Homo-oligomer: A and B are copies of this chain.
Amino acid sequence: MSREAILAADVGGTAIAVGLVTAEGAVLVQRQASTRERGTAVETLDALLTDLVATSRAEGIRVVGIGVGVPGAVDAEAGVIGDDVQNVPELARLPLAETLRSRFGLPAFVDNDVNALALGEWTFGEGRGARSLVLLAIGTGVGGGIVLDGQLVRGAAGYGGELGHISVNFDGRPCFCGGQGCLKAYVAGPDIAAEARGRLKRRSDSEILALAGGDPAAVTAAHVFGAAAAGDPLAASLVEEVCQALGAGLGAVVNGLNPEVVLVTGGVAESLKPLEPAILRWTGRYAFSRALASTRIAVLSLDKRATVRGGAALFLYETARKPGTAD
């Protein structure tokens, strides 16, 4: 019996992950390369996908189509990437879906990476079976993906779900985006580290500095979380603020959309996992208790398969919406 799989990819600023994923979400093969390992991001993606097609032939797996998540806003209908791709500037304005379609002769779909991740959790993961789901990916940046009544919220120009840039503190920290008090400015890894560095100028006896080998420039968010867990007051107060800002953001999601499921994931989520009770307490401060009672919030441990599953879920979502596309 011939097996079938989707060629799925997640393109990030540091790495590109690709995989062969079944319609049930099983990851048959998964590979990864640094983003510019074989040239530009697009050349690396092309090489990884070409290799995977060869693998699929060798293993008797029929590839039915392609789904790719990329950073930034995407015109998903046209499959064209927006003109502002922070981490992978060479992707800007590329008609990637069309390129992949003609390159591989397969139906191909491209969307924002966190949208794909949200579809992945909704289709295969923690949000399976839910009518509505919001996913917040917290790492170098903060992205969001929203599925409501079975539909991905893309918005008028592909900015739907940019929950990292809702202001939770209108007079608060400036954000690189030009905004002020953006959720990202409080909870993203580099922002936590930068804030810690600033506060360390006034207090040099913090455990944060010890964990960073005494070099303020080396401080990362992980050092801050580590020092807070060890009882360092400066770190603890900073981490409490992370939980508060995240609680305000989650509260906005709960009151504004009242989804069945809210998932927090991404590189920083690993550090947030033990803080789940504090995060939920702060969320309770900002959300209606009845709305919150009907929404399940969970911080997910990082699962390396999640990103390629996202691309596969994107493919399944699009072909379910456009019957006949996947021949």
A-to-B contact residues, CB < 8 Å: 73, 82, 84, 131-132, 144, 146, 148-149, 151, 153-163, 165-172, 177-181, 244-245, 247-248, 251-252, 254-260, 285-291, 293-295
Residue from B132, B151, B180 within 8 A of A156 (CB atoms): B132
Name A179's closest neighbour in chain B (CB-CB): B286
A145 CB to nearest B CB, Å: 11
Query: Which residues of chain B are within 8 angstroms of A165 by Cβ–Cβ distance?
Result: 255, 287-288
A312 to nearest B CB, angstroms?
22
Q: Which of B73, B171, B255, B259 contacts A162 (CB 8 A)?
A: B255
Inside 8 A of A163's CB, which chain B residues have their CB?
Answer: 255-256
> Do B153 and A151 touch (CB < 8 A)?
no
Most buried by B among A151, A154, A286, A287: A286
Contacts of A160 in B (CB 8 A): 256-258
Are A157 and B286 touching (Cβ within 8 A)? Answer: no
Count identical subunits in the complex.
Answer: 2
Q: Provide a sorted-by-A list of 5 A–B residue pairs whose CB atoms are within 8 angstroms.
A: A132-B155, A160-B258, A162-B258, A167-B168, A181-B286
A317: min CB distance to chain B, Å: 13
Q: Are B158 and A258 in contact (CB under 8 A)?
A: yes
Q: Name the residue in A156, A245, A289, A293 with the highest tally of chain B Cβ atoms < 10 Å from its Cβ.
A: A156
Q: Report whether A157 and B285 are in contact in the complex, using a CB–CB cutoff of 8 Å.
A: no
Q: How far is the CB of A258 from chain B (nearest CB, A)?
A: 3
Residue of B nearest to A153 (CB): B148
A84–B293 alpha-carbon span in the complex (Å):
14
Determine which of B179, B244, B254 lies in contact with A285 in the assembled complex, contact meaning CB atoms within 8 Å: B179
Given A153-B257, A259-B155, the answer on whether A180 and B84 have CB atoms closer than 8 Å is: no
B171→A169 contact, CB < 8 A: yes
Which residues on the B side are within 8 Å of A257 (C-beta)?
Answer: 146, 153, 155, 160-161
Check B157 against A290 for contact (C-beta < 8 Å): yes
Chain B residues lying within 8 Å of A172, measured Cβ to Cβ, are 169-170
Interface of A: prevailing SS: loop
The 3 A-B pairs at the shortest CB distance, nearest first, are namely A155-B258, A157-B294, A159-B291
Q: Which residues on B sit within 8 Å (CB–CB) of A255?
A: 159, 162-163, 165-166
12 additional A-B pairs beyond A156-B260, A167-B251, beta carbons within 8 Å, are A73-B290, A82-B290, A144-B256, A146-B257, A149-B151, A151-B151, A153-B257, A159-B255, A160-B256, A162-B291, A165-B287, A181-B248
The complex places the Cα of A157 from the Cα of B291 at a distance, in Å, of 6
Instruction: Indicate the member of A82, A146, A172, A252 with the most B CB atoms within 10 Å.
Output: A252
Chain B residues lying within 8 Å of A156, measured Cβ to Cβ, are 131-132, 258-260, 291, 294-295
Closest-by-CB residue of B relative to A245 is B170
The winner among A161, A179, A258 for most chain B CB atoms within 10 A is A258
Contact B258 A256 (CB under 8 A): no
